[in-house]
Amino acid sequence: MRTTSFLRFCFASHTRYCIVGLGSGGLSLTSHLLRSGIHPSEIRVIDPAPKHYYQPGWTMVGAGLWNILSTEASMEEVTPKDITFSKDRLKLVKPDENKVVCESGQEYTYDELILGTGFKLQYEKVQGLKEALDDPNSNVASIYELKYAEKVAKLGEKLTSGKAIFTEPALPIKCAGAPQKILYLWSDKWQKKNLPVSV
Protein backbone atom coordinates (compact mmCIF):
# COMPACT_ATOMS: atom_id res chain seq x y z
CA MET A 1 0.00 0.00 0.00
CA ARG A 2 2.73 2.48 0.96
CA THR A 3 4.83 1.42 -2.03
CA THR A 4 1.94 2.12 -4.41
CA SER A 5 1.40 5.60 -2.95
CA PHE A 6 5.11 6.35 -3.18
CA LEU A 7 5.25 5.27 -6.82
CA ARG A 8 2.26 7.42 -7.68
CA PHE A 9 3.93 10.40 -6.02
CA CYS A 10 7.15 9.86 -7.98
CA PHE A 11 5.27 9.48 -11.23
CA ALA A 12 3.27 12.66 -10.60
CA SER A 13 6.50 14.57 -9.89
CA HIS A 14 8.04 13.65 -13.27
CA THR A 15 7.05 15.05 -16.65
CA ARG A 16 8.59 14.86 -20.06
CA TYR A 17 8.67 18.66 -20.35
CA CYS A 18 9.13 21.13 -17.50
CA ILE A 19 8.52 24.75 -18.46
CA VAL A 20 9.47 27.42 -15.94
CA GLY A 21 7.56 30.64 -16.60
CA LEU A 22 4.18 31.12 -18.23
CA GLY A 23 4.75 34.50 -19.78
CA SER A 24 4.26 35.01 -23.52
CA GLY A 25 7.26 32.77 -24.34
CA GLY A 26 6.34 29.94 -21.97
CA LEU A 27 2.69 30.05 -22.98
CA SER A 28 3.54 30.01 -26.70
CA LEU A 29 5.84 27.03 -26.26
CA THR A 30 3.31 25.13 -24.15
CA SER A 31 0.64 25.68 -26.80
CA HIS A 32 3.07 24.63 -29.53
CA LEU A 33 3.85 21.35 -27.74
CA LEU A 34 0.15 20.60 -27.34
CA ARG A 35 -0.53 21.34 -31.02
CA SER A 36 2.38 19.04 -31.89
CA GLY A 37 0.59 16.14 -30.24
CA ILE A 38 2.30 16.12 -26.84
CA HIS A 39 -0.19 14.87 -24.23
CA PRO A 40 -1.02 17.47 -21.53
CA SER A 41 0.07 15.05 -18.80
CA GLU A 42 3.62 15.21 -20.21
CA ILE A 43 3.89 18.96 -19.54
CA ARG A 44 4.51 20.71 -16.24
CA VAL A 45 4.53 24.50 -15.98
CA ILE A 46 5.93 26.26 -12.91
CA ASP A 47 4.98 29.88 -12.27
CA PRO A 48 4.02 31.68 -9.03
CA ALA A 49 2.37 34.70 -10.67
CA PRO A 50 -1.36 35.24 -10.09
CA LYS A 51 -1.70 37.01 -13.44
CA HIS A 52 -0.41 36.59 -16.97
CA TYR A 53 0.65 39.75 -18.80
CA TYR A 54 0.87 40.00 -22.56
CA GLN A 55 3.93 42.21 -22.47
CA PRO A 56 4.21 42.79 -26.25
CA GLY A 57 0.90 44.61 -25.88
CA TRP A 58 2.45 47.24 -23.62
CA THR A 59 3.97 48.88 -26.69
CA MET A 60 0.44 49.23 -28.07
CA VAL A 61 -0.69 50.65 -24.72
CA GLY A 62 2.21 53.11 -24.84
CA ALA A 63 1.09 54.18 -28.32
CA GLY A 64 -2.44 54.82 -27.02
CA LEU A 65 -3.91 52.04 -29.17
CA TRP A 66 -4.82 49.45 -26.53
CA ASN A 67 -6.43 49.59 -23.12
CA ILE A 68 -4.00 48.35 -20.51
CA LEU A 69 -6.60 45.94 -19.08
CA SER A 70 -6.57 44.00 -22.35
CA THR A 71 -2.98 42.94 -21.67
CA GLU A 72 -3.67 41.08 -18.41
CA ALA A 73 -5.58 37.94 -17.47
CA SER A 74 -5.70 35.55 -14.56
CA MET A 75 -3.29 32.63 -14.82
CA GLU A 76 -6.27 30.27 -14.76
CA GLU A 77 -7.68 31.92 -17.90
CA VAL A 78 -4.58 31.37 -20.00
CA THR A 79 -3.22 28.06 -18.66
CA PRO A 80 -3.88 25.30 -21.23
CA LYS A 81 -6.32 22.68 -20.02
CA ASP A 82 -5.09 19.47 -18.36
CA ILE A 83 -1.39 20.35 -18.16
CA THR A 84 0.26 20.00 -14.74
CA PHE A 85 0.52 23.48 -13.26
CA SER A 86 2.63 24.21 -10.17
CA LYS A 87 2.00 27.62 -8.60
CA ASP A 88 5.45 27.77 -7.08
CA ARG A 89 8.70 29.69 -7.48
CA LEU A 90 11.85 28.09 -8.86
CA LYS A 91 14.71 28.01 -6.37
CA LEU A 92 17.32 25.72 -7.88
CA VAL A 93 18.07 23.76 -11.04
CA LYS A 94 20.02 20.51 -10.78
CA PRO A 95 20.79 19.76 -14.45
CA ASP A 96 22.91 16.68 -13.67
CA GLU A 97 19.87 15.12 -12.01
CA ASN A 98 17.26 16.52 -14.42
CA LYS A 99 15.60 18.09 -11.41
CA VAL A 100 14.26 21.45 -10.29
CA VAL A 101 13.68 22.48 -6.69
CA CYS A 102 11.00 25.03 -5.79
CA GLU A 103 10.83 27.42 -2.86
CA SER A 104 8.14 25.24 -1.28
CA GLY A 105 10.72 22.43 -1.13
CA GLN A 106 8.90 20.41 -3.80
CA GLU A 107 11.18 18.75 -6.35
CA TYR A 108 10.24 17.88 -9.92
CA THR A 109 12.13 15.80 -12.46
CA TYR A 110 11.95 16.13 -16.21
CA ASP A 111 13.30 14.90 -19.53
CA GLU A 112 13.46 18.36 -21.09
CA LEU A 113 13.72 21.69 -19.22
CA ILE A 114 12.69 25.01 -20.76
CA LEU A 115 13.46 28.20 -18.84
CA GLY A 116 11.14 31.03 -19.84
CA THR A 117 11.57 33.31 -16.84
CA GLY A 118 12.36 36.44 -18.85
CA PHE A 119 14.63 39.32 -17.87
CA LYS A 120 14.87 41.09 -14.54
CA LEU A 121 14.56 44.83 -15.10
CA GLN A 122 17.21 46.84 -13.25
CA TYR A 123 16.33 50.50 -13.64
CA GLU A 124 18.50 51.31 -10.62
CA LYS A 125 21.59 50.63 -12.76
CA VAL A 126 20.97 54.02 -14.40
CA GLN A 127 21.30 56.82 -11.85
CA GLY A 128 18.02 58.64 -11.29
CA LEU A 129 16.03 56.54 -13.76
CA LYS A 130 13.75 54.78 -11.25
CA GLU A 131 12.93 58.08 -9.55
CA ALA A 132 12.11 59.71 -12.91
CA LEU A 133 9.93 56.79 -13.98
CA ASP A 134 7.99 56.89 -10.70
CA ASP A 135 7.52 60.66 -10.81
CA PRO A 136 4.16 61.34 -12.51
CA ASN A 137 5.33 64.83 -13.47
CA SER A 138 8.56 63.77 -15.19
CA ASN A 139 8.87 63.29 -18.94
CA VAL A 140 10.46 59.84 -18.57
CA ALA A 141 8.53 56.63 -19.24
CA SER A 142 9.00 53.05 -20.46
CA ILE A 143 6.99 50.48 -22.38
CA TYR A 144 8.79 47.67 -20.56
CA GLU A 145 6.61 47.67 -17.47
CA LEU A 146 2.86 47.71 -16.87
CA LYS A 147 2.81 50.73 -14.58
CA TYR A 148 4.85 52.87 -16.97
CA ALA A 149 3.23 51.97 -20.30
CA GLU A 150 0.24 54.28 -19.82
CA LYS A 151 2.64 57.09 -18.93
CA VAL A 152 4.23 56.72 -22.38
CA ALA A 153 0.80 57.26 -23.97
CA LYS A 154 0.10 60.33 -21.83
CA LEU A 155 3.45 61.89 -22.67
CA GLY A 156 2.97 61.20 -26.37
CA GLU A 157 -0.42 62.93 -26.39
CA LYS A 158 0.93 65.83 -24.35
CA LEU A 159 3.84 66.50 -26.69
CA THR A 160 2.78 68.85 -29.50
CA SER A 161 6.18 70.24 -30.47
CA GLY A 162 9.84 69.72 -29.72
CA LYS A 163 11.99 66.62 -29.59
CA ALA A 164 11.15 63.12 -28.37
CA ILE A 165 14.07 60.93 -27.36
CA PHE A 166 13.71 57.15 -27.59
CA THR A 167 16.52 54.99 -26.26
CA GLU A 168 17.50 51.44 -27.15
CA PRO A 169 19.98 49.71 -24.83
CA ALA A 170 22.60 47.25 -25.98
CA LEU A 171 21.55 43.61 -26.34
CA PRO A 172 20.46 41.43 -24.73
CA ILE A 173 17.16 43.14 -23.96
CA LYS A 174 13.63 41.81 -23.87
CA CYS A 175 11.69 42.34 -27.09
CA ALA A 176 14.52 44.00 -28.98
CA GLY A 177 12.12 45.52 -31.51
CA ALA A 178 9.97 47.30 -28.93
CA PRO A 179 12.08 50.48 -28.59
CA GLN A 180 11.87 51.02 -32.35
CA LYS A 181 8.21 50.01 -32.61
CA ILE A 182 7.09 52.64 -30.11
CA LEU A 183 9.21 55.25 -31.92
CA TYR A 184 7.59 54.43 -35.29
CA LEU A 185 4.07 54.39 -33.84
CA TRP A 186 4.41 57.82 -32.21
CA SER A 187 6.32 59.31 -35.13
CA ASP A 188 3.46 58.27 -37.41
CA LYS A 189 0.83 59.76 -35.09
CA TRP A 190 2.66 63.08 -34.80
CA GLN A 191 3.15 63.26 -38.59
CA LYS A 192 -0.55 62.58 -39.23
CA LYS A 193 -1.41 65.45 -36.89
CA ASN A 194 1.17 67.68 -38.63
CA LEU A 195 2.86 68.36 -35.31
CA PRO A 196 6.42 69.74 -35.30
CA VAL A 197 7.86 66.88 -33.26
CA SER A 198 11.23 65.40 -34.16
CA VAL A 199 12.58 62.07 -32.91
pLDDT-derived band at 3 (thresholds 50, 70, 90) equals very low
Ramachandran angles phi, psi of 43, nearest 5°: -120, 125
Q: At 171, is the secondary structure helix, strand, or coil?
A: coil
Specify the amino acid at residue 69: L
Q: Is the pLDDT of residue 48 over 50?
A: yes
- Please answer whether residues 198 and 164 qualify as being in contact, where contact means their C-beta atoms are separated by less than 8 angstroms: yes
| Mean of pLDDT over the chain | 91
Q: Give the mean pLDDT of 71-98.
A: 95
What is the structure's pLDDT at 8?
A: 33
Q: How far apart are CA 167 and CA 3, in angstroms?
A: 60
Find all residues with CB under 8 Å of 129, minimum gap 6, and list them: 123, 140
**What residue segments make up the domains of the chain, in order of their start?**
2-115, 123-192
What is the structure's pLDDT at 12?
A: 56
Specify the amino acid at residue 182: I
**In the chain, pLDDT over 70 holds for what percent of residues?**
94
User: What is the distance in angstroms between the CA of the first residue and the CA of the last residue of the chain?
Assistant: 71
The string of pLDDT tens digits covering residues 25-39 is 999 999 999 999 999
- pTM across the whole model: 0.84
Q: How far apart are CA 4 and CA 25, in angstroms?
A: 37
The string of pLDDT tens digits covering residues 181-197 is 999 999 999 999 999 99
The string of pLDDT tens digits covering residues 129-149 is 999 999 999 999 999 999 999
Q: Is the pLDDT of residue 176 over 90?
A: no
The string of pLDDT tens digits covering residues 94-104 is 999 999 999 99
Assigned fold of 2-115: FAD/NAD(P)-binding domain (3.50.50)
Per DSSP, the residues of 36-88 read TT--GGGEEEE---SEEE-TTHHHHHHTTSS-GGGGEEEHHHHSPTTSEEE--
Classify residue 161 as left (phi > 0), alpha (psi -120 to 50) or beta: beta
Ramachandran angles phi, psi of 186, nearest 5°: -75, -35
Q: How far apart are CA 28 and CA 54, in angstroms?
A: 11
What is the structure's pLDDT at 119?
A: 84
pLDDT-derived band at 9 (thresholds 50, 70, 90) equals very low
